[in-house]
Chain A
Amino acid sequence: EAGVTQSPTHLIKTRGQQATLRCSPISGHTSVYWYQQALGLGLQFLLWYDEGEERNRGNFPPRFSGRQFPNYSSELNVNALELEDSALYLCASTLTLVSGNTIYFGEGSWLTVV
């Protein structure tokens, strides 16, 4: 069974541009999470989607947005890129809205803003 898959693996963008990152959850998982991990730092919660709805949002500006599609895949959009947006973006998925389920992570997408 495939795990959480993310694309692209690496992405280089120029300041001011937009970046789109994609995530496919484990089959059967309806919840998708996005986290940002800047170099050498911990994971910061970005967004949580479940059944196509945004359920929770971390402390990030509105230029960070996303959506979840009917097949439960998700994309993260970052507009007006800034240098400090350079980070590893991790997607994770889990079963249902019920808390207490194991949350599985993908390998991440490295975003570099130059």
Chain B
Amino acid sequence: SQQGEEDPQALSIQEGENATMNCSYKTSINNLQWYRQNSGRGLVHLILIRSNEREKHSGRLRVTLDTSKKSSSLLITASRAADTASYFCATGLIQGAQKLVFGQGTRLTINP
């Protein structure tokens, strides 16, 4: 099964509202990365948060990490139509060879 699981699977909000997506994982990690994917295109890296960090900001993005609950959240404030995309969390594992394990993603739709 996937290491990272995003929740919700789909989210539809009005432009200007805030969007929150959650990610849960199962095993110990050393970092967690969030990506955006526009339909049929490659992944754009948004934020990397390390296991010893609790919160990180980048522009309108805010990521939190709770290693005790094995969960992370991505908050997009003041959403725009251009934010419409799928968002994935990916965990960098401590054990085993380095690779990112992705969840199924959250499909975010921003309605004008």
A: residues with CB less than 8 A from B are: 4, 6, 31, 33, 35, 41-43, 45, 48, 55-56, 58, 88, 90, 92, 97, 99-100, 102-108, 110
Per-residue 0/1 for B87-107: is the Cβ within 8 Å of any A Cβ (1 yes, 0 no)? 010101110111111111100
Q: Which 5 pairs show the lowest CB-CB distances between chains A and B?
A: A56-B97, A107-B42, A105-B43, A43-B102, A42-B104
- Tell me whether A108 and B41 are in contact (CB under 8 A): yes
Of residues 59 to 112 in B, which have CB atoms within 8 Å of A's CB atoms? 88, 90, 92-94, 96-105
- Tell me whether A104 and B98 are in contact (CB under 8 A): no
> B97 — which chain A residues lie within 8 A by C-beta?
48, 55-56
Chain A's nearest CB lies how many Å from the CB of B104?
Answer: 4
Interface size on B, residues (CB 8 A): 28
Query: In the complex where A90-B42, A107-B42 touch, is A56 in contact with B102 (Cβ < 8 A)?
Result: no
- Tell me whether B100 and A45 are in contact (CB under 8 A): yes
Of residues 19 to 53 in B, which have CB atoms within 8 Å of A's CB atoms? 30-31, 33, 35, 40-45, 48, 50
> B50 — which chain A residues lie within 8 A by C-beta?
100
> A42 — which chain B residues lie within 8 A by C-beta?
2, 88, 102-105
Instruction: Pick from B40, B44, B45, B92: contact of A100, CB below 8 A.
Output: B92
